[in-house]
Amino acid sequence: MKNLSSSASQGTTGNIFSLIIFILIFPTFLNTLSCSKSPTEPEAHIQLTLEDVSCIEAWLRLQVSSGSNVVIQRDGKTFMNFPLYKPYELFNIDTIVVDDSLLPNKTYKYRAILTNNGKIVSTSSELTVTTMDTTSHNFTFEMITFGGEIGSSVLYDVAIIDESNIWAVGDIWIKSDTSSTGYIKYNAVHWDGTKWELKRIYFPTVCGQTNVTPYPARSIFAFNGNEIWISSSGDKIAIVKDGIQTKMFCLPPSVSMSINKIWGRSSNDLYVVGYAGNIAHYNGTSWSRIESGTTLNINDIWGDYNQKTKEWEILSVGGNILAGYDNIILQIQSNNSIQKINSDSVEWPLRSLWFISSRIYYIGGSGIYQKHLVEENQWKNDMFSITTYSTNRTRGNEINNITAVGGAGELLHFNGSNWKSFIDDVGIPGNYYGTAIFNNTIIAVGQSSNMAVLTIGRR
């Protein structure tokens, strides 16, 4: 009995002690519950930051957690109002919204507001955005022709190093009474700031032999102003440094192709693309083939450094012109593997592209298509509002200074707000095949009847 009484006594004492502790702690526990958020009322947050801006558009990054509705104001007035998909649940939204009804060179103030059941639960800081100014369409044009008296002359491509150093390449036949053939062939013209001079760029006549020939030149690309690479319409390449040809060679058999375009970061990291899906890379020492996964002709290549990812972005486009409807857009990865980019919304084969990475992308062929991010699914194209002619080449040096050329001598300029056609000023009975733009100078090259034509616009 003593042991039982002792145990009962100890149990009673323990129960009383536990009860006292519970009474002391319970109010604190209740207070903690009353101060904490209910699981059904997660903390709400909204943030608005500037992703990018052009002359007439602003891309805003919207980040939201929780809430049921978002309102975005521009200058104190609502321009966007939409419900969220998961009201009352803890979630995170990170997306881009676009305001595409802005004026050039104007400052706007944005604010995002998050609500729950009509009550404001979070407001972003005010965001100030100033749109870019447009460039001028006020160009004065001059047209220069080469050849025409004998044979058929043409210019395919052009590079502007600066306003006093411009190269264009092609196939030019000049009549000559002193030549045994009755003509002299050139494949380039050069502007030195004072005059245009016909040039011969030499390629190996036959690969592996010492004889040379000024074969028709197809493409040109400039590195850092003092070095340019020029390709024949076959598998041959010539290098010109400071205006003097220093080298010529054939592509090795492992990557041999008919070259359409050259692009690269430097002469130690460049790409060539050509017919039948051919893409090759040069690392400064050796060439390697890149498996494209297509047999369509690759017609153009361009690359740009992405300031956000700190990596180079390289794209190419293709299609068999006048021989089918298929097209392709390819992204060349850092390990030289290939990723196919969606082109479902694009009609007809593609001839050209130009872009500023993560800002604006243009592709051309049957019309001009554009989008803001390469990850977007749809390419936008208002086909007949820009041009009714095919587009052979698109180039630019800023988001508000872009040129495109094409059939019937179409020459277009985008000033950041709208496209302007100069076909009434510079149209030809033929085609422009290449174009370049540098600050206030536009060059378009092509063929007018049987003459090579170079049209220069100065602003």
Question: Could you tell me the CATH number of the domain that includes residue 74?
Answer: 2.60.40.10
Q: Are 201 and 258 part of one and the same domain?
A: yes
The answer as to whether 27 is a domain residue is: no
Q: Does residue 169 lie in a domain region?
A: yes
Residues 174 and 230 in one domain: yes
- Is the same domain home to 166 and 246? yes
- Asked if residue 73 and residue 116 are part of one domain, the reply reads yes
Q: Classify residue 21: in a domain, yes or no.
A: no
Per-residue HEC secondary structure of the chain comes to CHHHHHHHHHHHHHHHHHHHHHHHHHHHHHHHHHHCCCCCCCCCEEEEEEEEECCCCEEEEEEEECCCEEEEEECCEEEEEEECCCCCCCCEEEEEEEECCCCCCCEEEEEEEEEECCEEEEECCCEEEECCCCCCCCCEEEEEEECCCCCCCEEEEEEEEECCEEEEEEEEEEECCCCCCCEEEEEEEEECCCCEEEECCCEECCCCCCCEECCCEEEEEEECCCEEEEEECCCEEEEEECCEEEEEEECCHHHCCCEEEEEEEECCEEEEEEHHHCEEEECCCCEEEECCCCCCCEEEEEEEEECCCCEEEEEEEECCCCCCCCCEEEEECCCCCEEEECCCCCCCCCCEEEEECCCEEEEEECEEEEECCCCCCCCECCHHHHCCCCEEEEEEEECCEEEEEEECCCEEEECCCCEEECHHHHCCCEEEEEEEEECCEEEEEEEECCEEEEEEEEC
Q: Which of 99, 130, 161 is the last residue of a domain?
A: 130
Residue 233 sits in the same domain as residue 329: yes
Q: 411 in a domain, yes or no? A: yes
What b-and-e string marks burial along 172-197, b requiring 16 or more CB atoms within 10 Å of the CB?
bbbeeeeeeeebbbbbbbbbeeeeee
* Assigned domain for 160 exists: yes
Domain's final residue, options 102, 130, 158: 130
Position 79 in a domain = yes
Per-residue pLDDT of the chain (459 residues; tens, 9 = 90+): 334 333 334 444 444 334 333 333 444 444 444 444 445 555 778 999 999 999 999 999 999 987 789 999 999 999 999 887 654 454 678 888 989 999 999 999 999 999 888 889 999 999 999 999 999 999 999 999 999 999 999 999 999 999 999 999 999 999 999 998 999 999 999 999 999 999 999 999 999 999 999 999 999 999 877 899 999 989 999 999 999 999 999 999 999 999 999 999 999 999 999 999 999 999 999 999 999 999 999 999 999 999 888 999 999 999 999 899 999 999 999 899 999 999 989 989 999 999 999 899 999 998 899 998 777 778 988 766 899 999 999 999 999 999 999 999 999 999 999 999 999 999 999 999 999 999 999 999 999 999 999 999 999
Q: Are residues 85 and 156 in the same domain?
A: no
One-letter amino acid for residue 272 of the chain = V
If asked whether residues 271 and 290 sit together in one domain, one would say yes
pTM of the model: 0.86
Are residue 158 and residue 292 in the same domain, yes or no?
A: yes
Same domain, 147 and 237: yes
Give the domain extent around 147: 140-458
83 lies in the same domain as 147: no
Same structural domain for residues 147 and 118? no
Look at the chain and report how many structural domains it folds into. Answer: 2
- Residue that finishes a domain, picked among 130, 148, 179: 130
The answer to whether the beta carbons of residues 126 and 118 sit under 8 Å apart is: no
For the chain, how long is the longest CA-to-CA vector? 140
Q: What's the pLDDT at 82? A: 85
Task: Give me the CATH number covering residue 199.
Answer: 2.130.10.10
Domain annotation covers residue 9: no
Q: Which residues contact 318 (CB under 8 A, 6 or more apart)?
A: 273, 277, 294, 296, 297, 298, 299, 300, 327, 328, 330, 349, 350
Does 77 map to a domain? yes
Based on the fold, state whether residues 207 and 257 are members of the same structural domain.
yes
Pick from 374, 290, 300, 299: nearest CA to 337? 290
Tokens 């507001």 locate to: 113
